[in-house]
Structure 1
Amino acid sequence: MAVAVFTALADANRRAILAELAAAGPATATELADRLPMTRQGITKHLTLLAHAGLVTAEPGERRRIRFRLRPEPMTVAQSYLSSLAHDWDRRLHALGSYLDQKAGKET
């Protein structure tokens, strides 16, 4: 699941779609195309990949129009992964800083 989420988030157009859904709520591909600088076909292609990653869900709307809703749960997977990486880097950078401080103290 994490690979699909990061693959989906790698594209700026898909991030723009997610941002629009987060800001304005559920929307159809046509509504998103009206708000973003992409064609409806392009939006649909990106929504398919976002749905595959679990980041959006398709819901039937009025007059058989499909509305897409943001699903934040998969973002938790990405956030957790990035948080663990940040923790590891923080630990390593702190150790490096301590080492450099000790080294600088010995040279003065």
Structure 2
Amino acid sequence: MTEEKIIDPNITSDDKLWALLAYLLTPLIPIVLLLLEDKKDRPFLKAHYPQALAFGIVAWVISGLLSFVFVGCVTGVAALVFQIIWGIKAYNGEYVTIPVITDFVKKQGWAD
């Protein structure tokens, strides 16, 4: 797991809070951010909510498919731990790079 430690002075406390919530309450909050006109094009949020949404969906699918075995429970807990870590980093104004997910989201043009 690698993170970029770039901190932008133009990031508001509102941006940080929404980014935190996007990771913690995925996929609901990223979808809400996608629908909010004043939020969806904010550069800091656009770097976080698409990858939070993609990660949340992938984590739910994997946990759901593996839920009949113990591995599904472990996967769900591990995903929650990562979501908390990434949410805290976002709240501190950092840009987070999630392996595979970030590259996929950027190649699709969903994030900057």
Does TM-score exceed 0.5, indicating one fold?
no
User: TM-score by structure 1 length?
Assistant: 0.30
Question: Max radius of gyration: which structure?
Answer: 1
Decide which structure has greater helix share: 1
